Amino acid sequence: MRPTPFDQVFGAIAAERFPRLRDSLTTSQVDPHDLDAFVLDREVVALLQDLVPEGAGESLDQHVSLLHHAYLFWLEGSWLFRLSRARADELLSKLPTSPSEGTSVPRAYYIQFPERLVWAGLEPAAPHEPLDGLFVRPWPGGGYFVLGVFGMHPKREGFTVVEADGFPVENPAREDGSALFSPVMAGGSSAQLASLVGQEELLELAARSATAVADAVRRIGAENRPSAPIEID
């Protein structure tokens, strides 16, 4: 089975440490979705000290964001969705429709894209990295917290994360006039790849994924908690 970033980083410790986080936050009457309060909890601080290497510097914020998204993914039921290539191509090429009124979408989920389909240039002059998937936390009013995970590979110890939050832009467009998610890598068009350019496209991709997730949840029932990844074809 294809691993997730949750498996890679937290799979060996979540069963022990996350219940302790939950109990500590509950005792302190902290809303776990409140990041500012979350990072002040003593159990969160202790876990970060165990996870974050010395000298992390600017990457500390990325470690905090990953832990927060991963914990809420676990807390809200570990909803994991996997897109087929056909459904991913559809999301990348068509404007989304809003989920049907009354459709429940998990408060936190991870959606995994086909391997090496979507790429992004995350650092100047650095090679583009493939998107593994998105941690998504929908807002009640239509916005999103999103954490994109890039560059997962069996021979690589870590991966790269990029976060965005806000409302998707109405009628989003690239400055150069090219289509959203169209490839910017050399050879990307002939290989039928896609590219993410900027946080606006990251939010837009999260919004498009929410429609697919809503369809899947409606199919299996929002009251169910998955014991295996939910395939979206």
15-27 pLDDT, tens digit per residue, is: 999 999 999 999 9
**Given this model, what pLDDT does residue 54 score?**
75
Task: Name the residue with higher pLDDT: 227 or 191.
Answer: 191
Instruction: Note the pTM of the prediction, 2 decimals.
Output: 0.93
Task: Name the residue with higher pLDDT: 37 or 157.
Answer: 37
* Contact (Cβ atoms closer than 8 angstroms) between residue 128 and residue 150: no
User: Is the model's pLDDT at 82 over the cut of 80?
Assistant: yes
**Given this model, what pLDDT does residue 172 score?**
87
Task: Name the residue with higher pLDDT: 69 or 158.
Answer: 69
From residue 136, how far is each of 28, 73, 187, 209 by CA, in Å? 25, 9, 30, 9
Q: What percent of the chain has pLDDT over 70?
A: 92
